[in-house]
Amino acid sequence: MKALILPFKDKVPAIHAETFIFPQTSIIGDVKIAKHCSIWFGSVIRGDIASIFIDEGSNIQELTNIHVDYTQGVRIGKNVTVGHRCIIHACEISDEVLVGMGSIIMDGAIIGAQSIVGANSLITKNKIFPPRSLIMGNPAKVVRELNEEEISFIHQSAQHYIALAKEYRL
């Protein structure tokens, strides 16, 4: 089984050669994925009506759905970890963010750099969070500022998935 890479109208996904796309993944339309990223089993990235950009070193884990709306695309920064079974919709995730499993980030939301979104959190429409935030809840709110150890963990998580994806390529 291979990944499904589909053009939509005149837009063709652009995936860096050093990015690993796992089987049973669908990438459609106006999607750009930078180097050292990994898109894990069963994820869907659909840039049909607006663009999606995933920057260097980011990983999108199993069964995550990324989509856009007519007025806004998706931007995922460098060294971002998006956990299993998330929904990322028409929003911006800044550099070095960890999005916990099962979280939903809605239209117009912005997650500041070096933040953690706790598992199963709901980021509501147009909500903006500052850098270095621990964000949790339904609806989500800032619980506190992250410490240096937690920020280091975000970077370690991204590096771990870069290395793990390389092992699958061997």
| C-alpha to C-alpha distances, 64 to 10, 141, 143, 163, nearest whole angstrom | 25, 22, 25, 20
Place 169 in a pLDDT band, splitting at 50, 70 and 90. confident
DSSP output for 110-146? EEPSS-EEPTT-EE-TT-EE-TTEEEEETTEEEEEEP
Amino acid at the residue 30:
D
pTM: 0.97
Q: Mean pLDDT throughout 107-136?
A: 99
Structure confidence at residue 170 (pLDDT): 65
Q: Mean pLDDT throughout 130-152?
A: 98
Q: Mean pLDDT throughout 126-155?
A: 98
pLDDT higher than 70, residue 117: yes
Distance CA 105, CA 17 (A): 28
Distance CA 48, CA 43 (A): 15
Could you report the per-residue pLDDT of 57-100, keeping only the tens digit for each? 999 999 999 999 999 999 999 999 999 999 999 999 999 999 99
Listed residue (104, 134, 139) closest to 116, CA to CA:
134
Ordered by where they begin, the domains of the chain are 4-169 (2.160.10.10)
Could you report the per-residue pLDDT of 20-48, keeping only the tens digit for each? 999 999 999 999 999 999 999 999 999 99
Share of the chain above pLDDT 70, in %: 99
Q: Is 35 helix (H, G, I), strand (E, B) or coil?
A: coil
